[in-house]
Amino acid sequence: MKKRWLIALTLAAISSPLLASPQFGSPTESVGRYRSTEEKAVDAYGKGVKLKRKAEAEKDPEKRAKLYLKAKEELSKSIGYLANYDGYLALGQVYLALGNGESARDACAHARGLKPNNEAATSCIEAAQAMGKVAKQGEGDGGGR
């Protein structure tokens, strides 16, 4: 008798209207879908590359700079989630476009570390080093007016 009563009580609890209410829906409905680190990295990379392309096409220098800064943020997020060659290379190219040779060289060196014989990463490092040399020459020329 106790066994039947326990079964009936369990069935009543399961079919209770309280449990069927919307506030007790599945955990994924109320909290959101879990996204893996890889998914987050890919999403941020995609946004960063899209912003980089928009910046490259933008004619207004002020808007272009803002787009590059947003691209830098997204690409930095991407490699923060998951170190990846494409993210580092794109970030290095964005730093080049922003005129930040030192950061460009660092990002491109990370890319080359992941793909040592890659020509694009090597070219990026060379461009960053050239940018640094031009900046140092400019510093030396500015003092003797």
**pLDDT, tens only, 38-61:** 999 999 999 999 999 999 999 999
Selected residue with higher pLDDT from 98 and 20 = 98
Q: Is 19 a domain residue?
A: no
Cα distance between residue 111 and residue 100, in whole Å: 17
With cut-offs at 50, 70 and 90, classify the pLDDT of residue 133. Answer: confident
Burial readout 111-129 (b: 16 or more C-beta within 10 A, e: otherwise): bbeeeeeeebbbebbebbe
Q: Is 118 a domain residue?
A: yes
Q: Is 26 a domain residue?
A: no
Q: Is 56 a domain residue?
A: yes
| CATH number, domain with residue 112 | 1.25.40.10
Kindly state the helix (H) or strand (E) to which residue 105 belongs, with its residue range: helix 101-114
**Average pLDDT in the 73-83 region?**
96
**Domain count of the chain?**
1
- Structural domain for 83, as ranges: 37-137
pLDDT of residue 2: 52
pLDDT of residue 56: 97
Q: Where are the beta strands (DSSP E) in the chain?
A: none
Q: Is 78 a domain residue?
A: yes
Residue 20 scores a pLDDT above 90: no
Backbone angles phi, psi at 33, to 5 degrees: -75, 140
By the 8 A CB rule, do 48 and 78 touch? Answer: yes
Q: Is 20 a domain residue?
A: no
Q: What rounded mean pLDDT belongs to the chain?
A: 81
Q: Is 21 a domain residue?
A: no
Q: Is 6 a domain residue?
A: no
Which residue has tokens 């930095």? 76
